[in-house]
Structure 1
Amino acid sequence: MSKKATYGTVLLFTLIYVLSFVDRQIVAVLGVQIRNALQLSNFQIGLLYGPAFSFIYAVAGIPMGRLADKTSRKGMICLGLFIWSFMTVVSGFAASFFFLVTARLFVGLSQAMLSPAVYSYLADTFSHQKRATIFSFYTGGIFIGVGLSFLVGGSISMAYDWRMAMVSVGVPGLIIAPITWWFLKEPKRPNQKTEVENNTFSEIAELLKKKTIRWHLIGFSSLACTGYTLLAFVGNLFSDTFNQPELIPKFGWFMMGVAVTVVLSGRVADWLAKRKPEYRFLMGIAAALGGLPFYLFGLFQPNPTTAFICVGIGVLISSSYNGVAAALLQYFVRSDQRALAGGVYLFVISIAGFGLGPPVGGWLIDTVFSGPYAVSYSFITITIFCSTLATISFVQAMKTYHQDVVPTDC
């Protein structure tokens, strides 16, 4: 594969990842409208955004990862893209909570096909020296997608309604899927074989024996919990707390800005690794602690504009870890475990991030905190706990880095 085609593939994967997060995040962007139209509670919106998607996404991620290590990554990427796009369009015709939950289950199942296959594809295509940068470029698509879900989906919903927004964001994936099939070429896999063909569970057990991988998963899933909780209720924050729903679509600009900080974080991680490879984890610590002061100051401001700016800056910093997290895991696994490791990573961050953060946040809003700043108290409680746990985990991971790293990926 030529260098031009290789980087073209990265751009295509990033575009697909953008579409996946537009379709994944759109429920939170439209959450207030859906809640009011279908007469739901904040807890139900948290379930719809979180567990209805994340549990099936998490459970499916591991077998999808194993499948991507054995079969066509190209086929999995294209099929997943078509299914989740179609189910997003179908969601625009939902008349009940049950209908939306069912559609979200299919979105979660099909999106589980994407990243394990892409992680394996990219790791087999680029050298380990560039891995954090390339993975960060790909995962930057998360925040372009989230940003577009606010800007495009939010704007369409305000001009028309939430149903039109759902249909509009789902259609592009139906167009891109056949183009992707035509463009992608399956890369060659390294000729690395194990002496014994292990089953999936024994492979996972082998991965989790490494302390660095365990600390990695605890730390980055904690950061995911913070990020997904904010995304789930940022609409409530500006609509219910500050009575400024027009700020919701504009928040998309900050989310798109995170795509830049993610790439910068990856570049810095690759630079730090030239001094000491374990310093890659410092970017996780920076994400865990860097956003806290802005959240603490901004979430309780009486001025909506000040709150908007501070929370936005907090997001730029606290979400910058995503590319580094995905790349780091690849340094501790064999080439025939790349997609499986990606599936395990997605399983853990989905359970802790999507699965726990939004419903716990919704429960805190509904039952524990009250008053105009209930959303703020809920989010900051989760953030302080998760940031502390993440920082401790990354410090521990750096201590065991060299005993667990695969020698060829130092």
Structure 2
Amino acid sequence: MSLPKDQAKKIVSSPYAWVVLGVLTLIYISSFVDRQIIAVLAPQIQDELVLSNFQVGLLYGTAFSFIYAICGIPMGRLADIYSRKLMIISGLVVWSLMTVISGFASSLTFLIVARFFVGISESALSPAVYSLLSDYFRPEQRGTVFSIYAAGIFIGIGVSFLAGGSVAQAYDWRTSLWVVGVPGLLIAVIAWLVIRELPRGITQDNERYEAVSSFREVVTYILRKKTVRYHFLGFSFLAFIGYTILGFIGIVLTDIHNAGALVPQYGWFMMATGLSVMASGWVADRLATRWGGGHRFIMGAVAGLVCLPLYYFGLFAETAITALLLIGFANIISSSYNGVAAAIIQYLVKPNMRALAGGLYLFVISVVGFGIGPPLTGWLMDTFFIGPYGPAKALMLVFTCSGVLGSLCFWRAMKSYDQDTEVG
């Protein structure tokens, strides 16, 4: 049940709204800890359950990413119709329970089924949050607000590397899964007490909008906009970079520099990336205030291009420490777009389409970035780029093409933004 509009308007951008943002960000951190932890624990799981590298890749990537991507679209549609609060908290409870239950696994099949449920439940989160935050805050604040939320991605990944890995080393992988899963259940109680459902479109200057009942009509309306198509394509190229370096940083440090012990330290750069995401959102809002909303896309181009020199010198560095530092700082820049990307899409659709638009966005970047980026790069390593710095050459080729092509998409998106934007 939504609050009456007169009460809801008092909440918009109030101190309470920032508290809700903090709780939602905490939930997002939990989702990425539970999502990434399998990669951190992979060596121990592989040894105990006698798994091949292919099976580990299936468990970490395919078992999660495709079900997450596919379910995000119907979850977005449901969030546009039903209670966003209920969807967020229900998803949190399910993925936390599944993470705890995974600690009792005795087979690969058991873990894959649990990962399926983690993927399904996590797919309910961000589409609903995107829609809810658009009602909790004024339109001119969205770049900043969505970037604070998106920072949870990298804080969560950092926690999974640092805390999850440390618990696994001190005890075992099962204990680590229990330790990272249980806090989500406690956060769910806090979220239920704090978050309130708001009427959709409360931040609109014109609060009346045409209802669209058909799923097909909504998807068609969203995708027929040129800016949306360039947005999806451009940020998919940037997701190529982010998912690929996350998947192969271990290979760079281990195969090129024989410094596998440094891999957990990459978690610190993930934590720092959360700060760059927030800074990028703040700058994007300043650019929009001064020159127009379409200029938020500039931060996407900055992420895609400014990182390239750092990646180059890091990937071809002569020492492991230099490689870690330069690649880590490059990632801080290349992943800074996450909040801005989620915010921009909210300006291009009607209030009753925001969650579905968010689901479509997550579907595209998950399939392209997670589903295609790492396998394509791995194929280049196996087929064309061999030798001591073969992985570095493959990664640099992928990053350069992705950064340049993504920036071209953002330039085209800026040209059509004004004609495609919606009020509020």
- Residue identity opposite 1:199 in structure 2: S
Residue in structure 2 matched with residue 221 of structure 1 by the alignment: 236
Query: 124, 139, 148: which one pairs with 1:113?
Result: 124
Q: Supply the distance in 1 between the matched residues of 2:264 and 2:172 (Cα, whole angstroms).
A: 14
Bigger mean CA deviation after superposition, 309-318 or 198-207:
198-207
Residue in structure 1 matched with residue 223 of structure 2 by the alignment: 208
1:355 and 2:371 are equivalent in the alignment: yes
Residue in structure 2 matched with residue 55 of structure 1 by the alignment: 66
1:262 and 2:268 are equivalent in the alignment: no
Residue in structure 2 matched with residue 75 of structure 1 by the alignment: 86
Query: 412, 415, 419: which one pairs with 1:396?
Result: 412
Residue in structure 2 matched with residue 243 of structure 1 by the alignment: 258
Q: Supply the distance in 2 between the matched residues of 1:46 and 1:364 (Cα, whole angstroms).
A: 17
Query: 316, 319, 328: which one pairs with 2:332?
Result: 316
TM-score (norm 2): 0.90
1:184 Cα deviation (Å)? 1.4
* Contact 1:137/1:263, CA 8 A, preserved across alignment: yes
- Number of residues of Structure 1 aligned to a counterpart in Structure 2: 408
1:230 Cα deviation (Å)? 1.6
Query: 157, 173, 193: which one pairs with 2:184?
Result: 173
Deviations 1:320-350 (A, max 9, x none): 0001000000111111111111111111111
Q: Supply the distance in 1 between the matched residues of 2:316 and 2:388 (Cα, whole angstroms).
A: 10
Q: Supply the distance in 1 between the matched residues of 2:234 and 2:49 (Cα, whole angstroms).
A: 36
Deviations 1:205-236 (A, max 9, x none): 11111000000000111111211122223233
- Residue identity opposite 1:237 in structure 2: V
Deviations 1:255-307 (A, max 9, x none): 11111111110111011112322211010000001111111111122311000
Q: Supply the distance in 2 between the matched residues of 1:318 and 1:347 (Cα, whole angstroms).
A: 20
- Residue identity opposite 1:218 in structure 2: L
1:230 and 2:241 are equivalent in the alignment: no
* Contact 1:295/1:380, CA 8 A, preserved across alignment: yes
1:98 Cα deviation (Å)? 3.0
* Contact 1:46/1:362, CA 8 A, preserved across alignment: no
Distance verdict in 2 for CA 1:227–1:134, change over 3 Å: same
* Contact 2:211/2:352, CA 8 A, preserved across alignment: no
Residue in structure 1 matched with residue 154 of structure 2 by the alignment: 143
Deviations 1:11-39 (A, max 9, x none): 00010001111111122223344445445
* Contact 1:32/1:236, CA 8 A, preserved across alignment: no
Query: 179, 184, 196: which one pairs with 2:195?
Result: 184
- Residue identity opposite 1:308 in structure 2: L
Query: 121, 126, 133: which one pairs with 1:122?
Result: 133
* Contact 2:212/2:218, CA 8 A, preserved across alignment: no
* Contact 1:23/1:169, CA 8 A, preserved across alignment: yes
Q: Supply the distance in 2 between the matched residues of 1:390 and 1:37 (Cα, whole angstroms).
A: 42
Q: Which runs of 5+ in 2 are unaligned?
A: 1-9
Q: Supply the distance in 2 between the matched residues of 1:37 and 1:384 (Cα, whole angstroms).
A: 39
1:17 and 2:28 are equivalent in the alignment: yes
1:84 and 2:100 are equivalent in the alignment: no
Bigger mean CA deviation after superposition, 110-119 or 86-95:
86-95
Q: Supply the distance in 2 between the matched residues of 1:168 and 1:189 (Cα, whole angstroms).
A: 37
Residue in structure 1 matched with residue 290 of structure 2 by the alignment: 275
Deviations 1:145-164 (A, max 9, x none): 11111111122223333333
3-state secondary structure, aligned to 1:385: helix
Residue in structure 1 matched with residue 167 of structure 2 by the alignment: 156
Distance verdict in 2 for CA 1:292–1:339, change over 3 Å: same
TM-score (norm 1): 0.93
- Residue identity opposite 1:145 in structure 2: G
| CA root-mean-square deviation | 2.0
1:286 and 2:302 are equivalent in the alignment: yes
Q: Supply the distance in 2 between the matched residues of 1:370 and 1:34 (Cα, whole angstroms).
A: 29
* Contact 2:311/2:396, CA 8 A, preserved across alignment: yes
1:386 and 2:402 are equivalent in the alignment: yes
- Residue identity opposite 2:36 in structure 1: Q
Distance verdict in 2 for CA 1:96–1:243, change over 3 Å: farther
* Contact 2:239/2:368, CA 8 A, preserved across alignment: yes
- Residue identity opposite 2:94 in structure 1: I
Q: Supply the distance in 2 between the matched residues of 1:93 and 1:360 (Cα, whole angstroms).
A: 34
Q: Supply the distance in 1 between the matched residues of 2:290 and 2:248 (Cα, whole angstroms).
A: 40
Distance verdict in 2 for CA 1:43–1:276, change over 3 Å: farther
Q: Supply the distance in 2 between the matched residues of 1:76 and 1:185 (Cα, whole angstroms).
A: 12
Deviations 1:151-200 (A, max 9, x none): 11122223333333222211211221122112211112237565563311
